[in-house]
Amino acid sequence: MGCCCSTEQENLSQDGEVNERTRLLNDPVSNTYQVTASSIIDVGALECHTLEQHEYIERVRTYNQRVNAIPQVKTSNKRHHEVQLLYDTPATERVLSAQPISLADFNMMITASQKVVAAVAQIRVEHKEDLVVPFGIP
Amino acid sequence: MAEEMRRNLMELMKSTDDVLGIIVTDRDGVPILKVAEEEAPELGLRPTFISTFNIATDQAGKLGMGRNSRMVCVYGRYQVVHFNHLPMVVTVIASSVANTGQLLALDSQMAPLLASLTNVVDV
């Protein structure tokens, strides 16, 4: 164990076991070491994980099942500018030949939405009290 | 839906000149969707070849320029373009005379297809 000005290295146990000299708190140097270790490019130590045959077959089967299970559902949660796959709409003639909404309903929607926009534009914050209130000061 | 996806990928492959195969895999090269011409090199479609991209893209991301997104490998008779959409990897195999820029543009054309496959691979 060295003093603040000591240049000697700390003597850790040979096996790396916890002893009376082990640091209690996390070593900030070890965090730096971990970051460095993940950033280092060590071509010689690269893992070459070759798949077992049964694992390969199992994964292929799992992926096929999942791909076949993807539903043909219209994703209305996507934004309009995002490109989507085309989905088939069955019986399009029924959709296109349906009665359109009446002119009165359409005008009502336009009027109502204009009123909503005007009302939102008039939202104001009323200043009632001071924001910073001193308290506990004798 | 799977059949339509394969058909979509097949049309994409056939509509792009000199493309011999498009394969969507996980990081270990296990295929999710695959379309290939007969002339496509069989070795290039195997997991042992495609999984090397996973290692290469990890290391390439440590060069101080951010995450590696695409990799182009040109060989004598073929060229291979990898797109990093981890946990998925898209590999496009084409002949060496194919237009590389056009191959790179396939990324945006496949975006909706890949978005549909988001939940297929475990992260």
Q: Using 50, 70 and 90 to split pLDDT, how confident is the model at A15?
A: low
pLDDT tens per residue across span B59-75:
888 888 999 999 999 99
Q: Is the ipTM of this complex over 0.90?
A: no
Give pLDDT, residue A109. Answer: 96
Q: What is the mean pLDDT of residues B4-13?
A: 89
Beta-carbon contacts of residue A28 (< 8 Å; ≥ 6 apart): none
Q: Are B9 and B114 in contact (CB under 8 A)?
A: no
Residue B32 to residue B9: CA distance in whole angstroms: 12
CB-closest option in B26, B32, B108 to A67: B32
Which residue among A41, A60, A85 places its CB closest to the CB of B113?
Answer: A85
Q: Kindly state the DSSP code that residue A21 receives in the 8-state scheme.
A: T
Whether the CB of A138 is below 8 Å from some CB of chain B: the reply is no
User: Strand B78-85 and strand B70-74: pairing?
Assistant: antiparallel
Owner of token pair 């003597």: A11
Round to whole Å and give the CA distance between A27 and B11.
57
Cα-based distances in Å from B71 to A70, A76, A95, B56, B117: 29, 34, 46, 9, 21
Name the pTM for this structure: 0.63
Mean pLDDT of A100-116: 95
Domain ranges of chain B: 2-122
pLDDT at A37: 76
Residues of B in contact with A54 (CB under 8 A): none
Under CATH, which architecture does the B2-122 domain have?
Answer: 2-Layer Sandwich (3.30)
- Which residues of chain A neighbour B59 with C-beta distances below 8 Å? 41, 43, 46
